[in-house]
């Protein structure tokens, strides 16, 4: 069974801190991994997409890494700001069999950045 | 680019009625769209995969007669919750996968999500 786990479930940090969100997946045969942000009552905003052939992607203050062999991905947020407060979701994308093209989501990490 | 529009954003209906939710890809064609359901403080659960011009593929445990999916064009998929009951109250989100530029065969690209629909059945 393909499962995605995110740790921690919640994180509260003061503004300015660098932080790391963790995502692990049980099936290393992923095709891509995508990180999303969800604000309360809203849809998902794509942050970064890492293809299986890549090890990391960067966008502004965000950096996501992917290690297929260990089944892990991390999202690094530099110099956190109160506007970064949201739920962060990682999703594994598989290319084979009945999981073709589907996203398997983790439970999310609720991030609160206080001034 | 790669925008998915979902309507309505919020709907309240009486028990026993039906509700239709629309998901449109605005600037790309989507042969495949996905419908998710999200309960409070929980992650997204895939309900079904909507395929243009063919029947939707439902996940295990999802009632196909209750959640009717129609994907009649390359830019529109609809989810109809039939004979809604209070337990159907939830947040429904659609997703589509834009094609990679210049790519003819399927290739995973960043998935784009709609803004979601909050359904409340009273």
Q: pLDDT digit string (tens) for A30-71?
A: 888 999 999 988 899 999 999 888 899 999 999 999 999 999
- Compute CA distances B116 → A14, A61, B37, B98, B121, whole Å: 30, 27, 9, 18, 16
Q: How far apart are CA A34 and CA B52, in angstroms?
A: 24
Q: Is the pLDDT of residue B114 over 90?
A: yes
- The CA radius of gyration of chain B, in Å to the nearest whole number, is 14
> Using DSSP, how many helices (H) and how many strands (E) does chain B show?
0, 11
- As to burial, measured by CB atoms within 10 angstroms (0-12 exposed, 13-18 middle, 19+ buried), residue A43 is buried
Cβ contacts (< 8 Å) between A108 and chain B: which residues?
43
**A32 has a chain B CB within 8 A of its CB:** yes
Q: pLDDT digit string (tens) for A73-104?
A: 999 999 999 999 999 999 998 766 555 677 88
- Compute CA distances B38 → A50, A57, A115, whole Å: 24, 28, 30
Q: How far apart are CA A14 and CA A20, in angstroms?
A: 14
Instruction: Report the gap between the CA of B118 and the closest CA in chain A (Å).
Output: 8
* Contact flag A41-B118 (C-beta cutoff 8 Å): yes
Structure tokens belonging to residue A61: 């203050």
**A40 has a chain B CB within 8 A of its CB:** no
Interface of B with A in 24-43 (CB under 8 A): 32, 34, 42-43
């Amino acid at each position: 069974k393909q499962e995605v786990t995110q740790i921690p479930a919640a994180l509260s940090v003061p503004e300015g801190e660098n932080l790391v969100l963790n995502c692990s997946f049980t099936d290393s045969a992923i095709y891509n991994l995508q990180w999303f942000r969800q604000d309360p009552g809203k849809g998902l905003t794509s942050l970064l997409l890492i293809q299986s052939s890549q090890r990391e992607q960067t966008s502004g203050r965000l950096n996501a890494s992917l290690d297929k062999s260990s089944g892990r991905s991390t999202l690094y947020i530099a110099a956190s700001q109160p506007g970064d407060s949201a739920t962060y979701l990682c999703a594994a994308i598989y290319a084979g069999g009945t999981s073709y093209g589907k996203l398997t989501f983790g439970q999310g990490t609720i991030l609160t950045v206080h001034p | 680019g790669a925008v998915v529009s979902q309507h309505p954003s919020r709907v309240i209906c009486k028990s026993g009625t039906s509700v239709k939710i629309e998901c449109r890809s605005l600037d790309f064609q989507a042969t495949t769209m996905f419908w998710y359901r999200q309960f409070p403080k929980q992650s997204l659960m895939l309900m079904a995969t909507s395929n243009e011009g063919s029947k939707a593929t439902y996940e295990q445990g999802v009632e196909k007669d209750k959640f009717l999916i129609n994907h009649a064009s390359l830019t529109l998929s609809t989810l109809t919750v039939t004979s809604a009951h209070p337990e159907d109250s939830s947040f429904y989100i659609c997703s589509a996968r834009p094609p990679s530029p210049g790519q003819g065969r399927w290739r995973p690209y960043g998935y784009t999500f709609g803004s979601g629909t909050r359904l409340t059945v009273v």
